[in-house]
A and B are shown apart, each in its own frame.
Chain A
Amino acid sequence: MPLIPEIDGSSIVVLGSFNPAIFHPLWFKINQLIRPEEADSAKLEVTHPAVSIFSLEWFKLQVEMERFVVETTDKANFGPISDLVLGTFSILDHTPVRALGMNRVMHFKMDSREKWHAFGHMIAPKDVWHGIMERPGLQSLTMEDPRDDPLGFTRVRIEPSKQVDPGIFIEVNNHYEIEDNNIQNMLNILKGSWKEVLLKSESIANHLIKKVE
């Protein structure tokens, strides 16, 4: 049985060249990428040639000149945010893009503080620090797994959770370099890998946490 995170979020990050000003709720409404009522009730934070930020109940969008980010904190919306990105860049299909990040962030609650410590000791043994530090404790650990095809990597960051006590924060960044800066290549990766990447991220977290179960 997979462990269920207390907080489960995901985000899609695209690096390339964007015109932030067009990323306005009205544009999404006109292109039928969101419901009309959602566009009307969007919380608009900034609309400017250099940055555009707005949020709906189910996602937040932030676009800068070189970075497009959409994120959600509800598992129910993992599919819809992928549709939103696919829809957006199927319309803006001449946008040059150079990298895609499909990310998942999870906060797991541990049964006890003992298990929480046990996880820290398991993932970062303290023996090597004894004699030079008094009370060494894990603050952050990053592990990277390079990938050749498609080029990129999976990067896992583990920290004590600042949201759940006692809890563990696990972030999985699945990074893809986009061949020829071609948006169609990016869309194909997103279309073909989104579900798989989310599952893999969950498996990584489960694999690690179950070591101390």
Chain B
Amino acid sequence: MMRDLATRFVAEQSKEVSEYFVDKDVKPIKEENVGQVSGNVLAISTEAPASLGLTAPPVVILPGPFKPRHRFKVLQQFEGTVLEISGDECRAHIRDLTRPGFVEEITFSIEEISESDRELAVLGAVFYWDIGYQDRIDGQRLRVSAIRFRRIPMWKEKDLVSSRREAESLSESLGWKR
């Protein structure tokens, strides 16, 4: 009888678990592997549990472990705006984020842009351009130049209406007339 109950219980538990989609590689989160990369959690802690109410509960908690397969060491970082696309070339304005105040106009080949980002490369589009070293998990260091276009949803009608209203109200408060 007891064995039957235990078997049924295990079957029920397995059924519930199988309804989840959990990657087989996922290990249960233990205290020692929280924050392994960016965080700084002690391997073993004997602090009082938060449930005792002795410490204020964290309002914003930093996330758990994240192990990218490579590390990127930024040497130079630019933010660019597309001025013109002409044939195979893209003309853009760039600001050096590592040297405030440095602005330059450059022309580069469309080939430099990832294929899936090319449809985003239109007049006025903003992109990030990073130059640096990529340290792969196998120890190989590569010098990398990477362009990534910003992906922000298109303006919605209500956003345009609200911006127009805000502009009109600002214009009125300044006493400007059309």
Which chain A residues have a beta carbon within 8 Å of chain B's beta carbons? 7, 9, 11, 13, 15, 31-37, 43-48, 55, 57-60, 62, 67, 69, 71-76, 79-80, 83-84, 86-87, 90-91, 99-101, 103, 105, 107, 139, 159, 161-163, 169, 171, 173, 175
Which residues of chain B come closer than 8 Å to A169, judged between CB atoms?
A: 40
Decide if A62 touches B63 in the complex (CB within 8 Å): yes
In chain B, residues 125-178, which have Cβ atoms closer than 8 Å to a Cβ of chain A?
128, 130, 132, 146, 148, 150-153, 156
Question: Which of B22, B61, B69, B79 has a CB less than 8 Å from the CB of A57?
Answer: B69
Known contacts A43-B23, A73-B37, A73-B66; A86 and B152 CB within 8 A of each other: yes
Distance to closest chain A CB from B59 (angstroms) = 6
CA distance A99 to B57 in the complex (A): 14
Distance to closest chain B CB from A83 (angstroms) = 5
Can you give 10 contacting A-B residue pairs, CB < 8 Å? A13-B62, A44-B21, A48-B21, A55-B68, A73-B68, A74-B74, A103-B60, A103-B62, A105-B38, A163-B37
Distance to closest chain B CB from A110 (angstroms) = 15
Question: Which of A35, A71, A162, A175 has a CB less than 8 Å from the CB of B60?
Answer: A175
Decide if B66 touches A83 in the complex (CB within 8 Å): no
Question: Which of A13, A34, A84, A107 has a CB less than 8 Å from the CB of B40?
Answer: A107
Which residues of chain A come closer than 8 Å to B60, judged between CB atoms?
A: 13, 15, 99-101, 103, 173, 175
Which chain B residues have a beta carbon within 8 Å of chain A's beta carbons? 20-23, 26, 37-43, 59-64, 66, 68-72, 74, 77, 79, 114, 116-117, 128, 130, 132, 146, 148, 150-153, 156
Determine chain B's interface SS by DSSP, over half rule.
loop
CA distance A86 to B66 in the complex (A): 21
Distance to closest chain A CB from B68 (angstroms) = 6
Decide if B61 touches A13 in the complex (CB within 8 Å): yes
Question: Which of A9, A34, A80, A139 has a CB less than 8 Å from the CB of B38?
Answer: A9
Question: Which of A71, A87, A163 has a CB less than 8 Å from the CB of B151?
Answer: A87
Which residues of chain A come closer than 8 Å to B116, judged between CB atoms?
A: 35-37
